[in-house]
Structure 1
Amino acid sequence: MIDLRETGPGAVPLDMLRRYLAATGWHVRASASEADSLESLAAKVLLQSRHGGSRNFEVYVSSAPDLEGIELIVPNSVQSSEYASQVGRVIDALSAVEDRSTFDVARAIREVAFDVVRSRIPDALVIDDSIRMEMAQSFVSGIRNVLAATANTELEPLPYFLRTKKEASEYANRCRFGHTFRGSFGFTVESPLEPNSQAALPGFAPAPPFERRVIQRMVRGLRTVSAALSADSTDPITESIKTGFNANVCEQFASLIDGTSPSGIAFDFSFSPEWKGTPAEPTQEAHFELGRPQVEVIREAAKLLRARVMSWEETVFGRVIRLASQADPSDLTDTMGEREVAILWSSEATGDVTVRTSLSPSDYLQAVEAHAAGRPVAVSGTLERRGRRWVLINPSSFHFPG
């Protein structure tokens, strides 16, 4: 039996135990009258041992056919003096059913509210079960940047992004830094998950929450890195932006390795059973090792992704800060000369940037008036980033907003 005293009271919280049992197919015996009949000998003995026969537990049964007849006696209050011993018996039973150690079962219960990323650095960098402070600091900072970049790519799967979205930063900040662990010195990062309260339909998996999708993207992206190395080509990475890494994630992973352990870091992923995915989605344990060969291929992939022209439909709003005309601005009949304006535009995605666009003679004349009066303008079109230049092509709907 696991000794819960090793990690103190509440090492296996009751709410986490209930979530874990529900996620792995266990449920409270449905009928109150059936439960009151207490067919389980263990439940009868437990109840008879109490003064007055008061009930402070629930009987859990499994929906799995091969577990028919097996019952778990789960306390319904952490205040019970027998809480630790009762939970210990539940863990012992689950250990036998799941065919794994009581330690692994207890850890899985504690982690049911998280997807977990464990990272290990080589033994050569570990002295007396410790590492240098700067190495630990580099890892914490680096893994946060990886999580934020992956989250941002999940929100907007483009070849690269200029600024991290607020939602991506907030997600990274919600992640928890868990216990370090021995054996090549390890770091634990926990990505929080909300309880799965969606009703399961036969043949359909519930839509996973954003936090789960971020970790799934990280696993898929690392698989493309392994595939790229095997194929001696960056194509598996650069052709999988919609589901894997973009330039930012590649760069952050490379920086994490270089800044923490240039000789390599191993990554292990374990997913909470509470959100089961479709067969195509990673929800099983996964293992990857990133060393010099992987860093080189992801840096090369990042360069190629950075070189791509990004474009999307956008309405640019701001002040006209520059005018350039090859024709007489007042001659509305001259449609041959180019009339270019530069608009100072600010957005969450780009920050403050200067956007250039070519206008029709009539729109250009309005831009001249707006520039003289210091009035903002708005114009729609396809926004492209070409190197360091931002260009709006096919402009339309030029107007003075408000």
Structure 2
Amino acid sequence: MMDFRETGPGSVPLDMLRRYLVATGWHVRASSAVSASSEKSVAHALLGNRTGGNRNFEVFVSGTSDLSGIELVVPNSVSSSEYASQVSRVIDALSAIEDRAELDVARSIREVAFDVLRSRIPDALVVDDSIRLEMAQNFVLGIRSILAATAHTELEPLPYFLRTKKEASDYANRCRFGHTFRGSFGFTVESPIEPAIQSALPGIDPAPPFERRVIKRFARGLEAVSKAVLIDSTDPITDTIKTGFSANVCEQLATLVDGTSPSGIVFDFSFSPEWKGAEAIHAGPEHFMVGPRQVEAVREAAKVLRSRVSSWEETVFGRVIRLASQADPSDLMDMMGDREVAILWSSEATGDIAVRASLNPAEYLKAVEAHAAGRAVEVSGTLERRGRRWVLLNPINFQVH
């Protein structure tokens, strides 16, 4: 049996232990159903500190027929001086049941509240189990940018975007940088995930939370990159915008590898068992290598994605900053000349941009007056990017504020 007291009781948090047991099919047995043998076996070890007639432990049993009769005695509080040894017994039992090393079981328990991304760099860059600070800094900054870009793409699956949404940045900031690990020097990033709530409909799994969807998207994107290299085509990346990478994620991934380990980085994932469906994320290998060929593929895919026209319905609001007319602005009867305005518009998706719109004579005259008075205008239409220019097509509902 492994002694977890070396790292303190907090090394395996009680709430994480309970979440892990429930997620892996265990449940609390009612107090009246505790067997006489269980009561006898734990009487001296666990009942000695009882106060007010309440047990300071609960018995967990499995819903699996193969494990019927097996009971795990789990403490109710971390305040007991026996907490570490009690938890150690539970982990020892789980190690035997799951046929895994105790350290692996303990790690899985601590990570039940997270989906975990691990990244490994080649041994050639490691000296005495250490790497240069510049590499570590580049990795931390790079992986945060990748997670934020992936989160934005999950929120808005377009070929590219100009500015990261606040919700996406907030998600990346909530992720945690875990322990590095030996072997090929590795980084661990933990993506927090909320406890699963049972679906109101039997047999239907609840919808996965946003955090799980982000990590699944990243895993699917890496799988698409692997396929792209295999068939020497960017199609697996550029044809899967709805479920995979945008141009932004591709570019951030290439920057991360170039700045941290140009010879390659290996990514692999472990998913919290609280949410189902992780096994269906990809049907390929358990890990993904991103080296020079993969970097070349994602850079090329980013160019393809950025070349695609992206458009959506939008209402633009801001000041008129430019006026251009081939006709007399005051001649409302002249319908032949172009009358174009540029409106300075700011949004979370695009940042500050100048949006061009062609107006009819009456609307253009209002825009001229609004420009002279420093008043804002509003107009709706289809916002489209053409190279470096933004154009509002089919403008309607022009108003001066």
TM interval, shorter chain, is: over 0.9
Contact 2:199–2:205 (CA under 8 A) maintained in structure 1: no
CA distance in 2, matches of 1:249, 1:127: 30
CA distance in 2, matches of 1:124, 1:365: 68
Secondary structure, aligned partner of 2:10: coil
Q: 1:194-245, CA deviations, whole angstroms, 9 ceiling, x for partnerless residues?
A: 1223347443111111111110100010010011111110011001011000
Secondary structure, aligned partner of 1:355: strand
Q: Residues 2-401 of structure 1 correspond to what in structure 2 (within 5 A)?
A: 2-29=2-29, 31-35=30-34, 38-39=35-36, 41-48=37-44, 50-51=47-48, 55-199=55-199, 201-277=201-277, 280-281=280-281, 286-401=286-401
AA aligned to 1:372 is: A
CA distance in 1, matches of 2:96, 2:283: 23
AA aligned to 1:70 is: I
CA distance in 2, matches of 1:52, 1:265: 51
Cα distance, 1:282 vs. partner? 5.5
Cα distance, 1:153 vs. partner? 0.7
CA distance in 1, matches of 2:3, 2:224: 42
AA aligned to 2:42 is: L
Q: 1:294-350, CA deviations, whole angstroms, 9 ceiling, x for partnerless residues?
A: 000000000111111111101111111111111222222222211111111111111
Secondary structure, aligned partner of 1:272: coil
Taking only aligned residues, the RMSD between alpha carbons, in angstroms, comes to 1.8
AA aligned to 2:116 is: V
Contact 2:165–2:349 (CA under 8 A) maintained in structure 1: yes
CA distance in 1, matches of 2:89, 2:243: 42
CA distance in 1, matches of 2:287, 2:346: 41
CA distance in 2, matches of 1:284, 1:232: 17
Secondary structure, aligned partner of 1:322: strand
CA distance in 1, matches of 2:281, 2:262: 30
Contact 1:262–1:291 (CA under 8 A) maintained in structure 2: yes
Secondary structure, aligned partner of 1:10: helix
CA distance in 2, matches of 1:294, 1:26: 42
AA aligned to 1:181 is: F
CA distance in 2, matches of 1:52, 1:212: 41
Contact 2:223–2:284 (CA under 8 A) maintained in structure 1: no
Q: 1:253-307, CA deviations, whole angstroms, 9 ceiling, x for partnerless residues?
A: 1000000000001111000001112774469993111100000000000011111
Cα distance, 1:109 vs. partner? 0.2
CA distance in 2, matches of 1:325, 1:382: 22
Question: Paired residues, what number?
Answer: 397
Secondary structure, aligned partner of 2:365: helix
Cα distance, 1:51 vs. partner? 4.2
Contact 2:9–2:78 (CA under 8 A) maintained in structure 1: no
TM-score, normalising length: structure 2? 0.95
Q: 1:271 to 1:88 in 2, by over 3 A?
A: same
Q: 1:195 to 1:185 in 2, by over 3 A?
A: same
Q: 1:231 to 1:180 in 2, by over 3 A?
A: same
Contact 2:344–2:352 (CA under 8 A) maintained in structure 1: yes
Q: 1:162-199, CA deviations, whole angstroms, 9 ceiling, x for partnerless residues?
A: 01111111111111111111001111110111122334
CA distance in 2, matches of 1:200, 1:65: 25
CA distance in 2, matches of 1:217, 1:240: 10
Cα distance, 1:111 vs. partner? 0.5
Cα distance, 1:398 vs. partner? 0.4
Contact 1:177–1:190 (CA under 8 A) maintained in structure 2: yes
CA distance in 2, matches of 1:200, 1:280: 23
CA distance in 1, matches of 2:325, 2:18: 71
Secondary structure, aligned partner of 1:204: coil
CA distance in 2, matches of 1:371, 1:193: 49
Contact 1:268–1:285 (CA under 8 A) maintained in structure 2: no
Contact 2:224–2:236 (CA under 8 A) maintained in structure 1: yes
Structure 2 unaligned regions, length at least 5: none
Contact 2:8–2:84 (CA under 8 A) maintained in structure 1: no
Contact 1:43–1:73 (CA under 8 A) maintained in structure 2: no
TM-score, normalising length: structure 1? 0.95
AA aligned to 1:44 is: K
Q: 1:139 to 1:279 in 2, by over 3 A?
A: closer
Contact 2:271–2:278 (CA under 8 A) maintained in structure 1: no
